[in-house]
Amino acid sequence: MKLLVFSDSHRRNTSDMLSIIDEEKPDVVLHLGDVVDDVEDIRSVYPDLKVYNVRGNNDYGWHAQDVQDNLIVCVGQIKLLLTHGHLYGVRRNTKALAATARKHGCQIALYGHTHEARLNWDGGILIANPGSISLPYVAAPPSYLRLVIEGTQIQPEIVYLDQTY
């Protein structure tokens, strides 16, 4: 199973996500918040694609009222915890996030919010941030996370956009 993870698109360059989905042909797309309208764009273009999303700190109002802060998604034998990150103090560290993932028996915890791509292993749990697909915080190109899950095997890869998008 191939999953693409996006975050913090903030209404900028959302066509990049559509181009990437078109090229990568994922089984599942995850969006970690900020903002929910961008997720609706994906759903309207790809109505048959499995798309899961959580609420960011900039997601409020009527159109975000049904979006959850945290979501657990199961892909085969792997459980993934999705959250935006602001509720776990991820600018400080990812310990609270890792602890929550562990408590719920998740092998992967995904967060965004910092706009900084990162892959970490914490006691056997993959803690990953895809970065921002449109507004990278540091001097890095926009990025997303490609996750390939086969059985209990997890292959994460941060993909940085080049000029072709």
Enumerate binding residues for Mn ion (CB under 5 A).
34, 56-57, 113
**For Mn ion, the closer CB: 31 or 113:** 113
Q: Which residue is nearest to Mn ion (CB)?
A: 113
Residue 2 beta carbon to Mn ion: minimum distance, rounded to whole angstroms: 26
Q: Please tell me the distance from the alpha carbon of residue 2 to that of residue 103, in angstroms, as a whole number.
A: 25
Residue given tokens 């540091």 in the structure block? 138
Phi, psi of 51 (to 5 degrees): -125, 125
Residue 105 beta carbon to Mn ion: minimum distance, rounded to whole angstroms: 26
Residue 151 beta carbon to Mn ion: minimum distance, rounded to whole angstroms: 33
Structure tokens at 118: 């990162």
- Strands in 78-83's sheet, in edge-to-edge order, are 70-75, 78-83, 108-110, 125-129, 118-122
Task: Tell me, letter by letter, the H, E, C secondary structure of 121-155.
Answer: EECCEEEEECCCCCCCCCCCCCEEEEEEEECCEEE
Residue 67 beta carbon to Mn ion: minimum distance, rounded to whole angstroms: 13
Residue 7 beta carbon to Mn ion: minimum distance, rounded to whole angstroms: 8
**For Mn ion, the closer CB: 145 or 149:** 145
* Non-local CB neighbours of 74 within 8 Å, separated by 6+ positions: 80
Structure tokens at 12: 């900028």
**For Mn ion, the closer CB: 56 or 131:** 56
**For Mn ion, the closer CB: 144 or 149:** 144
Work out whether strand 28-31 and strand 2-6 pair parallel, antiparallel, or are unpaired.
parallel
**For Mn ion, the closer CB: 57 or 155:** 57
